[in-house]
């Protein structure tokens, strides 16, 4: 697949590395051209001169940026997202811990509303960058949860998630992103509260009809 990654930080670099290892063609972009070139050099990806150039021929576009940067990217690219499968890996940095987030929705659903003619998929947000680069811990394959409303986009991302080493699991419609984002925040909170090393990951254990 042709994978476009917008964002050249830890997450963008990690997904670029695992995508290239899986044999995908990867283009990476950033708001800072120097950062994009550095990430490309470090991972073996191709640096794009702009976000628009990165996504032009992409089969899958991955938003590997802070949630606060998404609105500007949506404004910048506009109709360029139309028809694209867009993977949202964002998480809210400070969710409302009294319950659901203030809008009663998810970042992924808000992004879908912002780019309505794209096919937004929530995936990979429950894994830290360390595990996005290597989704195995002591031989255990971590789960890659995928939520989306568009069946074709979901199938494409499930295939991609499996190709980079996760056990792909279809968790339902895009609204399930609310749960996935809560899972991510719980995971983040545990690292901070307990001084853990940001190396853990999510995995369902026990009888399932999925191959391990």
The pLDDT of residue 211:
55
- How many CA atoms within 13 Å lie on the side-chain side of 178? 14
**Are the beta carbons of 58 and 80 closer than 8 angstroms?**
no
Please state the pTM of the whole predicted model. 0.93
The pLDDT of residue 96:
59
CATH architecture, domain defined by 2-194: 3-Layer(aba) Sandwich (3.40)
Mean pLDDT in runs of 10 for the chain (212 residues)?
98 98 98 94 97 97 96 97 98 64 80 98 98 96 98 98 98 97 95 96 85 51
The pLDDT of residue 42:
97
**Are the beta carbons of 126 and 180 closer than 8 angstroms?**
yes
The pLDDT of residue 212:
47
CA 26, 185, 134, 204 dihedral sign is negative
The pLDDT of residue 207:
82
At 49 the three-state DSSP class reads coil
Partners of residue 148 on adjacent β-strands: 121
**Are the beta carbons of 124 and 89 closer than 8 angstroms?**
yes
Domain boundaries, the chain: 2-194
The pLDDT of residue 100:
44
At 58 the three-state DSSP class reads coil
């Amino acid at each position: 697949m042709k994978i476009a990654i917008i964002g050249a930080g830890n997450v963008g670099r990690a997904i670029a590395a695992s995508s290239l290892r899986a044999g995908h063609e990867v283009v990476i972009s950033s708001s800072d051209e120097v950062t994009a070139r550095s990430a490309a050099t470090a991972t073996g990806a191709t640096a794009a001169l702009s976000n628009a150039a990165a996504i032009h021929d992409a089969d899958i576009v991955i938003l590997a940026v802070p949630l606060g940067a998404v609105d500007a990217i949506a404004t910048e690219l506009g109709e360029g997202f139309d028809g694209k499968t867009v993977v949202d890996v964002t998480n809210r940095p400070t969710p409302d811990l009294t319950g659901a987030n203030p809008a009663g929705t998810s970042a992924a659903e808000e992004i879908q509303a912002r780019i309505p003619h794209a096919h937004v998929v929530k995936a990979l947000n429950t894994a830290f960058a360390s595990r996005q680069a290597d989704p195995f811990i002591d031989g255990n394959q971590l789960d890659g949860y995928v939520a989306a409303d568009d069946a074709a986009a979901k199938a494409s991302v499930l295939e991609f998630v499996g190709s980079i080493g996760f056990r792909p699991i279809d968790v339902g419609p895009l609204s399930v992103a609310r749960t996935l984002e809560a899972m991510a925040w719980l995971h983040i909170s545990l690292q901070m509260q307990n001084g853990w090393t940001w190396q853990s990951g999510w995995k369902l254990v026990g009888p399932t009809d999925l191959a391990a």
